[in-house]
């Protein structure tokens, strides 16, 4: 079997076109996203600039707040408070990781949950679990959209999530469970990973270990979603899955790059537009 390639770029583009229409319908309201970038981390700078460009292309107002890594936690919390009260801002994102002297929990909890377009606030995490209007974290929600686009219904399937981060692994399992999948969580300390992954109808690899998932780890016809963003010895971007091996055995697979990556920013735009719609109701 040769797998169908799940093309994240294409799905992201289609979703962005739909978002353009929704933005037009908002008429007098321009969706606004505030991004706070602290310090000089090169990866964070690149992500933030990609997020800003994506906003511009769609007609979302984006406000960048750059702060030195010497900023105090209380100064940062004050800025978040101002953004919570700013009517032109519908989404607030504080780019992670933060400098060591700033508490991530305090910062995330300071964001008004109705503007928490990352979906990291405990209120949104709770609503993801218990139901109710919430923002879902962008990467796992983007994966759900990719599955939907390819008519892959998680209902009754065994989904194995490899990774347990707050940003991807944990919410991923919950979203799949909400769609009636049977969910198993594995992670970097799981012994005998293969025992679990070989039973998976859907594998989500989100552990950050290059080529961890090989053909031996999957069963024939599995759907393989690769969230990994690693670099090989030549500095080339690669995932957690050995793509060339696994594509021979899987029924559908995401490449890296061009798979999950483009969906993450799209879902940030999606949440920002959704937030502006809620504010304009
Ligand atoms: N750092 C890496 N990924 C993310 C993300 O999705 N949101 C935020 N705020 N920071 C990140």
Assigned token pair, 34: 């505030």
User: Which atom of ligand 1 lies closest to the CA of 118?
Assistant: 7
- Do 176 and 219 form a contact (C-beta atoms < 8 A)? no
Per-residue confidence (pLDDT) for residue 281, from 0 to 100: 83
Is the dihedral angle over the CA atoms 64, 65, 70, 73 positive or is it negative?
Answer: negative
Contacts of 60 by beta carbon, 8 Å cutoff, 6+ apart: 23, 30, 31, 32, 33, 269, 272, 273
Tell me the mean pLDDT per 10 residues along the chain, length 281.
94 98 95 98 96 97 98 98 98 97 98 98 98 95 98 98 98 98 97 98 97 98 97 94 98 98 97 96 83
Per-residue confidence (pLDDT) for residue 209, from 0 to 100: 96
Tell me how far apart the alpha carbons of residues 74 and 27 are, in angstroms, rounded to a whole number.
37
pTM of the model: 0.97
With a Cβ cut-off of 6 Å, ligand 1 is lined by 93-96, 118, 138, 167
Per-residue confidence (pLDDT) for residue 23, from 0 to 100: 97
Per-residue confidence (pLDDT) for residue 132, from 0 to 100: 86
ipTM value > 0.90: yes
User: Which atom of ligand 1 lies closest to the CA of 96?
Assistant: 10
Q: What is the residue with the minimal CA distance to atom 1 of ligand 1?
A: 96
Q: Which of 95, 97, 263, 270 to mutate to test the pocket of ligand 1 (most atoms within 8 A of CB)?
A: 95
The pairing of beta strand 237-238 with beta strand 230-231: antiparallel
Assigned token pair, 135: 């923002």
Which phi and psi (to 5°) does residue 214 adopt?
-110, 180
> What is the CA(94)–ligand 1 centre distance, in A?
8
> What is the CA(93)–ligand 1 centre distance, in A?
8
> What is the CA(167)–ligand 1 centre distance, in A?
8
In the numeric block, the tokens 């995932």 are attached to 239
User: Which atom of ligand 1 lies closest to the CA of 268?
Assistant: 6
- Do 207 and 230 form a contact (C-beta atoms < 8 A)? no
Tell me how far apart the alpha carbons of residues 84 and 281 are, in angstroms, rounded to a whole number.
18
- Do 62 and 119 form a contact (C-beta atoms < 8 A)? no
Tell me how far apart the alpha carbons of residues 9 and 89 are, in angstroms, rounded to a whole number.
27
Full set of structural domains in the chain with CATH: 28-114 (3.40.50.10860), 137-261 (3.40.50.720)
Binding-site positions for NADP(+) read: 163-165
Give the active site residues: 51, 95, 118
> What is the CA(192)–ligand 1 centre distance, in A?
30
């Amino acid at each position: 079997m040769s797998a169908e390639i799940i093309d994240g770029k294409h799905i992201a583009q289609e979703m962005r076109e739909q978002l353009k229409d929704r933005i037009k319908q908002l008429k007098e309201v321009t969706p606004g996203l505030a991004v706070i970038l602290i310090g000089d981390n090169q990866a964070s700078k690149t992500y933030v600039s990609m997020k800003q460009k994506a906003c511009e292309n769609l007609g979302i107002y984006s406000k960048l707040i750059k702060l030195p890594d010497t900023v105090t936690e209380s100064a940062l919390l004050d800025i978040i408070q101002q953004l919570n009260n700013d009517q032109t801002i519908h989404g607030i994102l504080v780019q992670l990781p933060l400098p060591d002297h700033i508490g991530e929990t305090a910062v995330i909890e300071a964001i008004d949950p109705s503007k928490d377009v990352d979906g990291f606030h405990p209120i949104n995490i709770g609503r993801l679990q218990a139901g109710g209007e919430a923002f879902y974290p962008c990467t796992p929600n983007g994966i759900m959209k990719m599955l939907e686009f390819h008519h892959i219904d998680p209902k009754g399937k065994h989904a194995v999530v490899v990774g347990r981060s707050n940003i991807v692994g944990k919410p991923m399992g919950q979203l799949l469970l909400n769609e009636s999948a049977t969910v198993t969580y594995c992670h970097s300390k799981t012994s005998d990973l293969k025992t679990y992954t070989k039973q998976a109808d859907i594998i989500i690899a989100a552990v950050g270990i290059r080529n961890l998932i090989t053909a031996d780890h999957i069963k024939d016809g599995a759907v393989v979603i690769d969230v990994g963003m690693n670099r090989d010895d030549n500095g080339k971007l690669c995932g957690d899955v050995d793509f060339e091996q696994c594509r021979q055995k899987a029924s559908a697979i995401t490449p890296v790059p061009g798979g999950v990556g483009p969906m993450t920013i799209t879902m940030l735009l999606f949440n920002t537009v959704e937030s502006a719609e809620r504010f304009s109701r």
